[in-house]
Structure 1
Amino acid sequence: MWTNTQFTGSLPPGATQRWFSSDWPTSWHVVWYMVPTSPGAGEPQIDWDVAVECASADRATYWITVKNLTQGAVTFEGRYAVLN
């Protein structure tokens, strides 16, 4: 297993945005997770959903939709873990 940060993002209060990451082998089991990095008061809260699109028989694109659930702006890292 290995992990890394694929992208960083920021969202204003209540906003939703979609990111993508492409050209991943379809044979890999990839888990995506978002880690808030916003400093300051309060607890940043985000939610995310991941959709997979097969670009070809052996390559996939991941579409990651992230929503800010708080009344303040948030920053975060989009991280992944490859489990095989």
Structure 2
Amino acid sequence: MRVGVQFTGSVPANSTRRWFTHSWPQAWHVVWYCIPKSPVRDGPAQLEWKIKVCRQSSTRIKYFIEAKNLSNRTLQFEARYAIMNR
């Protein structure tokens, strides 16, 4: 398994933003997850995410990553991936 950070993002308080990442090989099984970076705060959940996908071509996949900030402060996060079958 190979893991990494695709990008870092910022979401204003109580809002949702969307990014995309493209040209992933269609044969790879990719799992996406988002992790809050700051502010560091123990308590209720800070972040919710959704992953959507489209086939760019017969061999490439595009992922759309939607991050929703559940807090009342701007949130920095990492969009991470795990390639399960490379």
Same fold (TM over 0.5): yes
SS in 1 for 2:63: strand
Aligned residues: 84
Corresponding residue for residue 71 of structure 1: 72
Cα distance change of structure 1 residues 16 and 25 upon mapping to structure 2, 3 Å threshold:
same
Unaligned regions of 5+ residues in structure 1, if any? none
Moved over 6 A (4+): none
Which AA in structure 2 matches 1:49? K
| Sequence identity percentage | 45
The whole-number CA distance in structure 1 between the counterparts of 2:40 and 2:65 is: 26
Corresponding residue for residue 53 of structure 1: 54
The whole-number CA distance in structure 2 between the counterparts of 1:40 and 1:66 is: 17
The whole-number CA distance in structure 2 between the counterparts of 1:28 and 1:20 is: 17
Corresponding residue for residue 36 of structure 1: 36
